[in-house]
Amino acid sequence: MTNDVNVYSICIKYVSISIIVTIMHVSLNPSVFKDLSKTPISAKDERILTIISYLGCGISSIFLGVTLLTYLSFEKLRRDYPSKILINLSVALLGLNMLFLVNSWLASFNSSAICITVAAIQHYFFLATFTWMGLGAINMYLALVKVFNSYVPSYILKFCALGWGLPLLVVSLVLAIDINSYGTSLSRALLQESTAFCWLKNDVTFYVTVVSFVTLVMVCNICVFVVVLVQIRKMRVNKPSSSRKGFLHDLRVVASLTFLLGLTWILTFVAWGAAKTPLLYLFSLLNSLQGFFIFLFYCLMKDNVRKQWRIHLCCGRFRQTEYSDSLL
């Protein structure tokens, strides 16, 4: 297997966040995720996938920035655990996307030190993205299945230590064992014959710290997703007269969790044979826009977020109405 950057890796991205996915977020670039199926992809498809990935990554970065600005500006939105986890996931995804966008430019300096640094940081944000998606799933499981009868001290602080500390530990070990695991690869991209990209060059390191890591998180997230579906099913059984509105609400919950938990990355493992190219297009589109979908489901479609927007951004008109209502 070669270390050349191929389309499969650029498609494997993010996650963003991601939730987070986030899926491989870095792998948005066919160069980041090696071609596991060995099925060839045409140069035309590779260029189109690359363009989709860069455009989607740029769009996601903008909306992730808006999401972070919203949650950090309005204190009422970040009081619960899921919101704090969402903020950390968004930071990881944004870092991954931003670095992905400038990766090739930084690699063009032909500096080994710069490329190793960029590859290591990108690897860090990639792992952090998946770690936070996994932590989001764990928190969801504890909220649904476990009953907290006692206060858990420093709950989010412990999550932060794991969410940011585990990726740092992995990257530090890679640097300590073989710093040359990071470096420059070449791939066809856009209008150029070849484009440099800073990422993992060592296959063993790639499969141990990327493929196995993503697989573990995805298995965990799929299990939690199934638990959520079972809970939704039980609720609907107890309410046989469920309305169309209730069905649409459940559908929105399922869709939002799909992107928050980074489940679209499952396409990475089923893109084989004749179905590989269309699945890669779907994968590249959904994962490169993970940040946009996070904004859509956790900002634009959330009542409490829209309420805060109206209060603070509508020239005080809504704020005055709300205050008047509270006096009645």
Domain locations in the chain as residue ranges: 7-327
What token pair was written down for 33? 């995720």
Q: Is the confidence at residue 318, as pLDDT, over 80?
A: no
CB 68 within 8 A of CB 77: no
Mean pLDDT of the chain: 79
Mind listing the pLDDT tens digit for each residue in 174-184? 999 999 999 98
Question: What is residue 324's three-state secondary structure?
Answer: helix
Q: Which CATH superfamily is domain 7-327 in?
A: Rhodopsin 7-helix transmembrane proteins (1.20.1070.10)
CB 156 within 8 A of CB 142: no
What token pair was written down for 208? 């141990």
Top-confidence residue, 87 or 258: 87
Q: State the amino acid at position 101 in one-letter form.
A: L
Q: Is the confidence at residue 7, as pLDDT, over 70?
A: no
Confidence (pLDDT) at 192: 46
Top-confidence residue, 211 or 43: 211
Confidence (pLDDT) at 144: 77
Q: Is the confidence at residue 11, as pLDDT, over 60?
A: no
Question: What is residue 200's three-state secondary structure?
Answer: strand
| CA atoms of 281 and 2, how far apart (whole Å) | 23
Q: What is the pTM of this model?
A: 0.82
| CA atoms of 199 and 48, how far apart (whole Å) | 21
CB 292 within 8 A of CB 63: yes
**Cα radius of gyration rounded to whole Å, the chain:** 21
- b/e map of 296-307 (b: 16 or more CB within 10 Å)? bbbbeebeebee
pLDDT confidence band for 86 (50 / 70 / 90)? very high
Mind listing the pLDDT tens digit for each residue in 95-154? 999 999 999 899 989 899 999 999 999 999 999 999 999 999 999 888 877 655 556 788
Q: Is the confidence at residue 31, as pLDDT, over 90?
A: no
CB 136 within 8 A of CB 155: no
Neighbours of 224 (CB within 10 A): 22
Which run of H or of E encompasses 220?
Answer: helix 212-237
pLDDT confidence band for 16 (50 / 70 / 90)? very low
DSSP 8-class letter at 298: I
pLDDT confidence band for 194 (50 / 70 / 90)? low
